[in-house]
Chains A and B, each alone.
Chain A
Amino acid sequence: DTGVSQNPRHKITKRGQNVTFRCDPISEHNRLYWYRQTLGQGPEFLTYFQNEAQLEKSRLLSDRFSAERPKGSFSTLEIQRTEQGDSAMYLCASSPGRGGRNTEAFFGQGTRLTVV
């Protein structure tokens, strides 16, 4: 396991379609984060899991967004009825639980979503 893996790397979809992204964190990490990043901006927090529990969700996240982490392993982020404003890089990160630095997160390479 060499790091956080995200699939697909790129996704082009038509407005109104649903899309789903997958994140496989580092195997021993129980914390998992989703971020969104647009050009020229820093990553924006979307949601956080500790094991299978979704403990925090950004108020910026509309009802069209949903994330799951069944069994506390991989996670999926689904966007329903995509809009052009959803076009961004979606980043997943994981970090170890107790004993590790809470502020050291390991990021994947992201999924770039383009809504046309």
Chain B
Amino acid sequence: LAKTTQPISMDSYEGQEVNITCSHNNIATNDYITWYQQFPSQGPRFIIQGYKTKVTNEVASLFIPADRKSSTLSLPRVSLSDTAVYYCLVGVGYGGATNKLIFGTGTLLAVQP
């Protein structure tokens, strides 16, 4: 699975939009980009997945440029409860035989009042 690089930590304030960028220079043609969120003492939780351009759901948006070598998770109007670690992963999304998800160290987002 392609290796990903993301910032170790980010700070924000309540109400701001937060953008976390992930680099995945070696992404394969059939790889999807997936983001997870993890709160302390809990397992990771799937947030969003995309292949190209833009994907939006009720929680976040995912922006993927044409070359797909990076992606940006956008969290609109964060609140204190969005303080968590965010992981970027790449792997086969549909129809493939992904047997494991490879997590990096993630980005610790700290939201302050």
Is residue B45 contacting chain A, with contact meaning CB distance below 8 A? yes
The verdict on A104 contacting B49 (CB below 8 Å), with A42-B87, A109-B41 known, is yes
Is residue A74 contacting chain B, with contact meaning CB distance below 8 A? no
Contact status B41-A105, CB under 8 Å: no
Number of B interface residues in the complex (CB < 8 A):
28
Majority SS of interface residues in chain B? Answer: loop
Is residue A16 contacting chain B, with contact meaning CB distance below 8 A? no
Our count of residue pairs bridging A and B at CB distance below 8 angstroms stands at 74
Contact status B100-A56, CB under 8 Å: yes
Contacts of A57-103 to chain B: CB distance below 8 A: 89, 91, 93, 98, 101-103
Min CB gap B54→A, angstroms: 18
Contact status B100-A103, CB under 8 Å: no
Contact status A102-B92, CB under 8 Å: yes
Is residue B102 contacting chain A, with contact meaning CB distance below 8 A? yes
